[in-house]
Each structure stands twice: as C-alpha cells, then as structure tokens.
Amino acid sequence: MVDLQIAPGEVKAVVSGSELYKAAVKVSPVPKVRWNSICKDCSGAIDSLVELLQGRFSKGVMERICRQRTGLFPSPDEIKLSCSCPDWASMCKHVAAVLYGIGARFDEQPELLFKLREVDQKELIARAGTGLPLAKKGPAKEKVLDGGDLSEIFGLEMAQDAPREDEASGKKAKLKRGKLPARKGKKATK
C-alpha cells in the first residue's frame, strides 16, 4: 500500500502491484433514521461521558454500533469497489489490500468510521451526555477522608502557634507558621 486516504463516503488508495494501481471503496452514508436509532439506543448504554470522550465505548455500545444491517458498519450492498488493474474480478487483490488497510486504520483511529459513514460522532456524545455522570461512580464512602482536623488524623500539631518542647532545655517553645526553630549552631530558616 503506497497511500490510503479515508474521506466522507470514500476511501482512495494507491496500491503497488506489478504497477501502481488506483483503488477506491465507496460507501453509502448512514441513513438518518438508522443514525438516530443508533444514537437513541446508545444513550442508555454509555457508562461515562469521560470514557466516551476518550473514545472508549462500553460493551453495549460496541454491540449496537457493530450490529449487522442496523449498525455503523456498511452492509455489502452499501459498498462499491473499483480498481484500475486489468483483473476482471470486482474484488481483486488490490482492493482486498485496501480493505485490510481500512481495518488496520480503524484499529488505530476508530473515529474514522464515523467520518467514512458521514455521521458526526459529536452528535452521539451530545445525545449520550444528557444526564450522564462524569465518571462511573465516586469513591466508596469509607475511602473518603473525613474533612475534620488533619492534625488529629496524623497525630501532628499543625496549629499556627502550636507549642513545641525545646529539645535542649525541655521547655515549651512557640513555633510561628513558616519558620523552623533554630538548632544548635544553625540559624532558623524560612
């Protein structure tokens, strides 16, 4: 494969054989009724808007998009193949190479399927986003830290003027926020 370009409704490719051949795969756009049905069916099966925006679909959405005849993938009667080679078969080895290349490209960039079928994936996201949580669910209640005093949780004195026992004299000293006490032979730092 020398070149493979996926555009709305058509894939154009240059394939190397005994010569360079131009191959094309034309695909009909998704009928509006089918696209509306896909969007409606998927809106209840999307787990999280974040996952959808990251290009990850739940199992239910993938099953709906991949459904034969009513999904996003074209049926054989929605595809027209052509090649400039002298082979009389409608699917010559050059077209087969293009189809393989399309599959490989979809694996890397699944959003190209929407482009090829002339539908806007943002429409799926917009319809699905109504009433969806940003993530599947929040952390379990027992895993959320209490918003109370952190000094109690960690057993530290964190108050602004917390008393501290001076190591050398055993006397209590006051610490000011942002200052460390002087140690023997060293100056206090900020």
**Domain tally, the chain:** 2
Strand boundaries in 54-176, DSSP class E: 79-83, 163-165, 172-174
Task: Please list the pLDDT of the chain residue by residue as tens digits (190 residues).
Answer: 899 999 999 999 999 988 999 999 999 999 999 998 888 877 755 555 556 556 666 677 778 888 888 999 999 999 999 999 999 888 999 999 999 999 999 888 888 999 999 998 877 767 665 555 555 566 666 666 565 666 666 666 655 554 555 555 555 555 444 445 555 555 555 5
Residue 97 lies in a domain: yes
Note whether 25 and 54 are same-domain residues.
Answer: yes
Q: How far apart are CA 128 and CA 134, in angstroms?
A: 12
pLDDT of residue 42: 75
Note whether 45 and 81 are same-domain residues.
Answer: yes
Note whether 86 and 156 are same-domain residues.
Answer: no
Residue 140 lies in a domain: no
Residue 104's SS3 state is helix
Note whether 36 and 87 are same-domain residues.
Answer: yes
pLDDT of residue 111: 84
pLDDT of residue 125: 67
Q: What are the C-alpha distances in Å from 14 to residues 115, 180, 184?
A: 20, 71, 79
Residue 107 lies in a domain: yes
Note whether 120 and 149 are same-domain residues.
Answer: no
Name beta bridge partners: 158: none
Note whether 164 and 100 are same-domain residues.
Answer: no
Closest listed residue to residue 1, CA positions, set 12, 14, 20, 10: 14
Residue 66 lies in a domain: yes
Residue 182 lies in a domain: no
Radius of gyration of the chain (CA): 32
Residue 134 lies in a domain: no
pLDDT of residue 119: 92
pLDDT of residue 23: 96
Range of the domain at 65: 3-128
Helix (H) or strand (E) holding 3: strand 3-7
